[in-house]
């Protein structure tokens, strides 16, 4: 039981939104896609979501807990 209640390897909806938003901004500013993008997909948010769903975005999330412990997800 000694674990913090939010501890999980799954991203929260807020973390997911932040990751996709940050990657979409990178794409909009001219960064190359990390995967082969399906034909017809040109919106940076769609591309970022596609990359996220395929595990291609190299972004690490640091969770800070009230106990002072940090967790890399």
Query: How many domains is the chain built from?
Result: 1
The confidence score (pLDDT) of residue 1 equals 41
Largest Cα–Cα distance of the chain, in whole Å? Answer: 49
Residue 50: pLDDT over 80: yes
* pLDDT > 90 fraction of the chain, expressed in percent and rounded: 84
Residue 62 belongs to a domain with what CATH number? 3.90.940.10
3-state DSSP assignment of residue 28: helix
Domain enclosing residue 29, as ranges: 13-72
Q: Is residue 36 part of a domain?
A: yes
Residue 68: pLDDT over 80: yes
Convert the pLDDT of each residue in 28-49 to its tens digit.
Answer: 999 999 999 999 999 999 999 9
H-type helices in 9-72, by residue range?
Answer: 13-28, 44-53
Q: Is residue 7 part of a domain?
A: no
């Amino acid at each position: 039981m000694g674990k913090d209640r939010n501890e999980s390897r799954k991203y929260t909806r807020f973390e997911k939104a932040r990751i996709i938003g940050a990657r979409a901004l990178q794409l909009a500013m001219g960064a190359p896609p990390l995967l082969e993008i399906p034909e017809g997909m040109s919106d940076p948010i769609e591309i970022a979501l596609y990359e996220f769903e395929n595990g291609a975005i190299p972004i690490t999330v640091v969770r800070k807990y009230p106990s002072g412990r940090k967790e890399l997800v």
